[in-house]
Structure 1
Amino acid sequence: MEVADGRVVTAAVASTQRRRTARIIANALDTAGGTDWNADVAVEVRLTDAPLTLRRPDVVVYRADAVALTPMRAQHVLCVVELVSRASQATGRIVGVHRYVRAGIRHYWRIEWSATGVPVACTYVLDPVSQAYREEAICNGIVHVTEPFPVTIDLTRI
């Protein structure tokens, strides 16, 4: 369940493949983030107070010293990862992205499955001048990036 502009929005339970993918990504980012950053699945993030907007991205990278905050505030979040299914394409590609930009979340990753079943990761970084996400990388199967920190994630083993 999420809250978008003050309205409750419900979603279907994530598939086993989606949950496993999120866990693998979170584990890799948690390790790569060292002691300063944590990465977890399904963390509730409060993007705005009025109108109230709460999102629950598949993976959230946040400051380690904010671990006890519930809900997490956007200013403590470094990166969100959304796993996009056919049912969530509009949210993953447009609506959620716009909300993350407005909240000032620096990194956004979108993971989708290609027609062959191989996960494709698109990573973005927030451009502070244009207030829009700029594409950083498109990775097929294996995510290899240097931001928000150096990490390699093999999504082909899912």
Structure 2
Amino acid sequence: MTALPDWMMLPPEGLTAAEYEALPEEICRRVEVVGGAIVVNVAPRRPHQTIVCRLANVLEAACGPQHAVDFDVDLRLRDVPLLNRRPDIVVYDWEAQRC
């Protein structure tokens, strides 16, 4: 049996935003946090990545300059309990982000 790494041993209240931010970037790229619980993401396969790339290109062309299309980002939706997602693609208001 394999033991869990220390960073997966959580208190009952779950992972906090400060604890998440203290994790190495390598770990943060592979996990999401839902209700304070760590969810390990499986590495996407090539067909999935091809579809993500094509969809991002179509969205970028359709959105125009007022919106940005991005991928491979952390998206903090809530601090308590922590809800941190890593969507395949995110579209956001470019002007609001620059302020």
Tell me the TM-score range normalised by the shorter chain: 0.5 to 0.7
- The two structures have a TM-score, normalised by structure 1, of 0.40
Within 5 A, what are the aligned runs for 1:5-154?
5-65=35-95, 66=97
- SS of 2:59's equivalent? helix
User: More relative contact order in 1 or in 2 (CA 8 Å, sep 6+)?
Assistant: 2
- Greater per-residue helix proportion: 2
Between structure 1 and structure 2, the one with the greater Rg is 2
* Secondary structure, counterpart of 1:2 in structure 2: strand
Give the direction of change, closer, same or farther, for the CA distance of 1:19–1:44 in structure 2 (3 Å limit). Answer: same
**Percent identity (aligned):** 34
Shift of the alpha carbon at 1:36? 0.8
Find the aligned partners of 1:18 and 1:32 in 2 and give their Cα distance: 21
Q: Give the TM-score, by structure 2 length.
A: 0.62
Q: Structure 1, unaligned stretches of length 5 or more?
A: 69-158
Higher normalized strand content (fraction of residues): 1
Deviation at 1:67, TM superposition (A): 6.4
**RMSD of aligned C-alpha atoms?**
1.7
In structure 2, what is the Cα distance between the partners aligned to 1:57 and 1:42? 7
Where structure 2 has 5 or more consecutive residues not aligned to the other structure, the ranges are 1-30
Runs ≥4 in structure 1, deviation > 3 angstroms? none
